[in-house]
Amino acid sequence: MAVLCDWEIKARCRQSQMVVPFDEGLLNPASLDLRLGDHLMIESIYSSELVRINIADRTEDDPFMLQSGEFCLAETLELFNLPDDISSQFVLKSSRARSGLNHLLAGWCDPGWHGSRLTLELKNERLHHAIPLFPGLKIGQMVFHAMSKTPMKSYRETGHYNNHLTVMPNVA
């Protein structure tokens, strides 16, 4: 596998809508910055199920505050349509990690994953302070890998997480 460079990511996004919306200003030499979307799923003391909330009205000046030690599921603003010859991996931006945010390393995306926003597993590792979250926040970056060969079966056929337009809990 080889990591796609900026001009290859740009070409794939323009040709096949691999990432929608595609913003050229988010390109890095070997990745594409991703932004936080409008929905989270958070814990509630009243239910063992995570509760879906809309943070579309939150801003940098009035963010949702992820409290110390809290876990949430979040979504990317970007929607993905990976072709059968490209896989990708989400990594948290270093500036988010340095603020105390942790991503629980479940960001691998198989070739053929499509029609979906990426669900992120986030935790505030700080002991005494909340971390602000709001739509449009640069949360991480996607690294795209060119497959050495096309797989026998695409995630398009085998995947459980295709065509998910919002943050999703576990789909066993």
Q: Which residues are catalytic?
A: 121
Burial class (CB in 10 A: 0-12, 13-18, 19+), 170: exposed
164 and 124 Cβ atoms separated by less than 8 Å: no
What's the one-letter identity of residue 155? Y
97 and 74 Cβ atoms separated by less than 8 Å: no
144 and 88 Cβ atoms separated by less than 8 Å: yes
Task: State CA 104 to chain mean position distance.
Answer: 12
122 and 107 Cβ atoms separated by less than 8 Å: no
Q: Which of 130, 134, 58 is nearest to 99 (CA)?
A: 130
Using CA atoms, how far apart are residues 33 and 46, in angstroms rounded to an integer? Answer: 35
